Amino acid sequence: MKYTIKLLFIWIAAAATGCSHASDEIKIPYQAVAKNDTASLKIILKKKEFYGQLEVNYGGLYKDSGDVSGIVKGDTLKGTFYYQRYGKGTKRRIPIALLKKDHKLVMGVGEMEVFMNITFFKKSVPVDYQKAKFVFQRVR
């Protein structure tokens, strides 16, 4: 009987804790258009991290689609885009940087380099949000 009550208490505590974490999450869909290219971003945003899916469609000819994840520092989201080119084949991982600005997400561009088969933004060159190809707006 004691064992059953302890298990019930642990289960209730875990459920309550899980519910409080869920309220920390914000699910937000975004879309961006740049000439003939479009991008769809669906992210789950927490206080210190984010994750979700990104699909970039290049003029209807091909698309890159996959998962995004990373950390949130102030108004900047930095992480990786783990995707399949053309929606098939070997997955690739590249860095991604998004700036929260006026309820939009601006995808920064930067110089990349590869070290030990990991691609990342060069630290010596800042990510440029002024020359962004995609500016994501919330979808209602």
* Token pair recorded at residue 101: 């600005």
Task: Tell me, yes or no, whether 19 lies in a domain.
Answer: no
| 89 belongs to a structural domain | yes
**Tell me: the pLDDT tens digits for 22-78?**
557 888 999 999 999 999 999 999 989 999 999 999 998 999 999 999 999 999 999
Structural domain includes residue 16: no
**8-state DSSP, 23:** T
**1 located within any domain:** no
What are the C-alpha distances in Å from 89 to residues 28, 72, 116? 28, 30, 21
Distance of CA 139 to the CA centre of its chain: 16
Domain-embedded: residue 9: no
* Residue 96 in domain: yes
Classify residue 40: in a domain, yes or no.
Answer: yes
Give a yes or no: residue 7 inside a domain. no
Is residue 136 pLDDT above 80, yes or no?
yes
* Total of domains in the chain: 1
Residue 42, domain extent = 25-138
pLDDT of residue 16: 41
Global pTM? 0.78
